[in-house]
């Protein structure tokens, strides 16, 4: 059974005079036309005021998920999604007894479907929950499975938060040891929704050594501290480029900027990932380097990061 997407119910909830309760999965098919928001500003302000008046939501665990790991960066374009995908695969590779899931929380620009070579609509379980698509042993869920590939998601914040809640709660994750969440850039609605509604085990901040990227990476780390999410450490991505011919190394984005930031924040550096064409090519091909070139130095760097993350995790509940 193909999943019936909840878009019409979500839009209906946000129209003035509409019932406050969100109905299940609507029968709408996503398209670029249907993804435009028709809600008015006055109603959104009223709805936002109602939500804020209730105070912070109570955190509720995701059924079947033992530990939740979020990968975040303040700045876009620093390789966060690539890192999240490869580390998720590395977590599964390091211990074959562990079940790993991957949630693409970037509603506006989902990357997981292409990187994990997955297409199609999720099926529904008898309990009306979406079943994740699976590849390389990792269960995946993304807005990219529910919209046309070229369709923009033109939504206001409240609709995005409702969609994230659906992706978290109305998915049959089964039994997972780790759920890796690939966050969108920034410190906005999605980050707050996930942090305040789900007991997050730890956050990993990904950044290049460039000063501009580090400014936003610091904001990301400070945001998680404010919402009481432990920051496990930082990953220095695109740390160095080695010429394939002469082997000369060049620090294109600067040297050790992430390490300096980690010292300032009192955090650990979980590892360094070089700037290498194979990382980009393998992800674009839907065959991440941890899977396609497991013996390469780059794949081993992701495996070491996964090991460092596991070392810093608390003992999961029985």
Q: Are 4 and 25 in contact (CB under 8 A)?
A: yes
Residue 38 tokens read as 């028709």
Question: Residue 178 pairs with which residues in a beta bridge?
Answer: 67, 100
Q: Which long-range contacts (CB under 8 A, 24 or more apart) does 238-241 make?
A: 238/78, 238/79, 238/208, 238/209, 238/273, 238/274, 238/275, 239/208, 239/209, 239/272, 239/273, 239/274, 239/275, 240/272, 240/274, 240/275, 241/274, 241/275, 241/276
For each of the chain's 318 residues, which pLDDT tens digit applies? Answer: 445 445 455 545 544 444 434 334 443 344 444 444 555 677 777 766 666 555 556 789 999 999 999 999 988 889 999 999 999 999 999 999 999 999 999 999 899 999 999 999 999 999 999 999 999 999 999 999 998 888 888 888 788 888 898 999 999 999 999 999 999 988 888 888 898 889 999 999 999 999 999 999 999 999 999 999 999 999 999 999 988 888 888 999 999 999 999 999 999 999 999 999 999 999 999 999 999 999 999 999 999 999 999 999 998 776
d(Cα 258, Cα 235) in Å, to the nearest integer? 7
d(Cα 125, Cα 151) in Å, to the nearest integer? 26
**Is-above-0.85 flag for pTM?**
no
Eight-class DSSP state of 2: B
Eight-class DSSP state of 231: E
Q: Are 118 and 140 in contact (CB under 8 A)?
A: yes
């Amino acid at each position: 059974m193909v999943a019936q997407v909840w878009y019409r119910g979500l839009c209906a909830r946000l129209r003035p005079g509409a019932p406050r309760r969100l109905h299940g999965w609507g029968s709408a098919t996503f398209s670029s036309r249907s993804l435009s928001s028709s809600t008015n500003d006055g109603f959104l302000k009223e709805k936002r005021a109602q939500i804020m008046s209730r105070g912070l939501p109570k955190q509720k665990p995701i059924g079947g998920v033992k530990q939740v790991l979020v990968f975040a960066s303040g700045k876009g374009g620093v390789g966060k999604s690539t890192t999240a995908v490869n580390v998720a695969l590395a977590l599964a590779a390091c211990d074959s007894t562990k079940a790993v899931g991957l949630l693409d929380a970037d509603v506006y620009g989902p990357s997981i479907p292409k990187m994990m070579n997955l297409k199609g609509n999720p099926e529904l379980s008898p309990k009306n929950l979406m079943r994740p698509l699976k590849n390389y042993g990792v269960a995946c869920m993304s807005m990219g499975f529910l919209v046309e590939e070229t369709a923009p998601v033109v939504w206001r914040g409240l609709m995005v938060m409702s969609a994230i809640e659906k992706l978290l709660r109305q998915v049959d994750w089964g039994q997972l040891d780790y759920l890796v969440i690939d966050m969108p850039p920034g410190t906005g609605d999605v980050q707050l929704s996930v942090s305040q509604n789900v007991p997050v085990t730890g956050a990993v901040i990904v950044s290049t050594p460039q000063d501009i990227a580090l400014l936003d990476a610091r904001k990301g780390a400070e945001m998680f501290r404010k919402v009481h999410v432990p920051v496990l450490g930082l990953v220095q991505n695109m740390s160095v480029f080695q010429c394939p011919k002469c082997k000369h190394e060049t620090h294109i984005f600067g040297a050790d900027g992430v390490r300096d930031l980690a010292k300032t924040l009192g955090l650990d550096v979980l590892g360094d990932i070089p700037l290498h064409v194979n990382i980009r090519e393998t992800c674009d091909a839907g065959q991440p380097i941890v899977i396609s070139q497991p013996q390469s130095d780059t794949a081993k760097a992701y495996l070491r990061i996964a090991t460092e993350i596991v070392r810093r995790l608390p003992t999961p509940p029985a």
